[in-house]
Amino acid sequence: MRLLITGAFGMLGEDVSAAAAERGHGVTALGREQLDITDPGAVTAAFTGARPDAVINCAAWTDVDGAEAEEAAATAVNGTGAGNVAAAAAQAEAFVVHVSTDYVFDGTATEPYAEDHPTAPRSAYGRSKLAGELAVAAAAPDGHAIVRTAWVFGPHGPNFVATMLRLAGTRDEVTVVDDQIGCPTYTGHLAEALVDLAERRPRGTLHVVGQGRCSWYDLAVATFTRTGLDCRVQRGSSADLGRPAPRPAFSVLGATRPETPVLPPWEQGLDDYLAARPAVAEGTRP
């Protein structure tokens, strides 16, 4: 299969490119420097050159707090840009796998969000990602999979676990919120699932996250326990952070569709991430 990957040099895109290549697919990997997805002409030209059978759109504005002040710019990438990719895919008769987020929900639920639960984003970032979902579905109604995921971490970019490890190197105590619950998802596991979906082509919306749930506090404690770092973790609250963008208090995504890839538990994702970090730092793959 010929596979086009947008946002290919981001935290998720790096692992998607590697997973696709390891399966023997022909990969065209385009990062932000090679392709601006907000430029429809450039997107069409990229598809003309790559002639893909499928595209995995990992390109995204990921600065959640920054989107509050620059919602139009975030929506240009996450909304209009995603629609550009889907429109070019439909014209090329290529299947599009689009990565979305738990932020399209309001975070007030007490049970896992199903795929058909009403969306109600509370942040500019969430609204921009919902705009992308709608644009993809409209541009490629018969050839798309929208994959919502959450709490993503991986060795190729900044993330919560990396921040905890860095802080533990300079502090003997950190305060981490325990009033946000979600499903930590390792990019190495998610990447395999995205390539699998590009191969199988199930249509519609799917929820793909690490199995289980925890708080950010729990994830920090697990990180220090596994690495043997002597850093105490104090419980904090979201209100104390004072961040511009509201965070969903409950971000647990439930999968009801049988064709949804099942990822390993988040604890396994954490173990695999910690094992992968040294190899990435040395310029090799685990």
Q: Band of the pLDDT at 281, cuts 50, 70, 90?
A: low
pLDDT tens digits, one per residue of 117-159? 999 999 999 999 999 999 999 999 999 999 999 999 999 999 9
Average pLDDT (256-262) is 97
User: Would you call 28 helix, strand, or coil by DSSP?
Assistant: strand
Decide if 171 is inside a domain.
no
The C-alpha atoms of residue 37 and residue 87 are separated, in whole angstroms, by 11
Which 3 state secondary structure label does DSSP give 35? coil
User: Is the pLDDT confidence value at 206 over 50?
Assistant: yes
Q: Is residue 68 situated within a structural domain? A: yes
Question: Hey, what are 212's tokens?
Answer: 């289980």
- The two structure tokens encoding residue 141: 């109604």
Residue 179: Cβ-neighbour burial (10 angstroms; 0-12, 13-18, 19+): middle
- Catalytic residue flag (residue 125): yes
Mean pLDDT of 53-82: 98
Write the burial class of residue 194 (CB in 10 Å: 0-12 exposed, 13-18 middle, 19+ buried). buried
Q: Strand (E) positions, 16-130? A: 26-30, 54-57, 95-101
CB neighbours of 223 closer than 8 A, spacing ≥ 6? 161, 164, 165, 229, 270, 274
**pLDDT(284) > 70:** no
What six digits make up the tokens of 180? 């946000």
Percent above pLDDT 70 for the chain: 97
209-235, pLDDT tens digit by residue?
A: 999 999 999 999 999 999 999 999 999
The SS3 of residue 242 is coil
Identify the active-site residue in 125, 186, 217, 273. 125
Domain count of the fold of the chain = 1
Distance CA 111, CA 96 (A): 29
Residue 158 pLDDT: 95
Is 127 inside any structural domain? yes
The phi, psi pair for 61, rounded to 5°, reads -85, 115
pLDDT beyond 90 at 280: no
Residue 61 maps to a domain: yes
Q: Is the pLDDT of residue 279 over 70?
A: no
Q: What is the rounded average pLDDT for all residues in the chain?
A: 96
What is the domain-level CATH number for residue 123? Answer: 3.40.50.720
**Residue 286 pLDDT exceeds 70:** no
% pLDDT > 90, the chain:
95
What pLDDT was estimated at residue 242? 87
Residues 156-191 pLDDT 10s: 999 999 999 999 999 999 999 999 999 999 999 999
Q: What is the pLDDT of residue 278?
A: 77
Residue 194 lies in a domain: yes
What count of residues does the chain have? Answer: 286
Question: What local confidence, expressed as pLDDT, does residue 232 receive?
Answer: 97
Kindly report the pTM of this predicted structure.
0.96
Residue 240 inside a domain? The answer is no
* Token pair listed for 111: 């049970």
Q: Which two tokens stand for residue 272?
A: 């695999």
pLDDT at residue 240 tops 80: yes
Question: For residue 234, is it within any domain?
Answer: no
Q: Within a domain: residue 285?
A: no
Q: With bands split at pLDDT 50, 70 and 90, how would you rate the model's confidence at 285?
A: very low
The residue segments making up the domain with residue 22 are: 2-159+182-212+251-267
| Residue pair 29/177 in contact by the 8 Å Cβ criterion | no
Per-residue pLDDT tens over the stretch 99-127: 999 999 999 999 999 999 999 999 999 99
CA gyration radius, the chain: 18
Tell me how far apart the alpha carbons of residues 170 and 93 are, in angstroms, rounded to a whole number.
52
Whether the CB-CB separation of 146 and 133 falls below 8 Å is answered with yes
Q: What is the pLDDT of residue 282?
A: 52
Provide the β-strand partners of residue 5.
Answer: 29, 56
Nearest one of 12, 6, 1 to 151, comparing CA atoms? 12
DSSP letters for 118-131: PP---SHHHHHHHH
Q: Which DSSP helix (H) or strand (E) runs through 160? A: helix 160-168
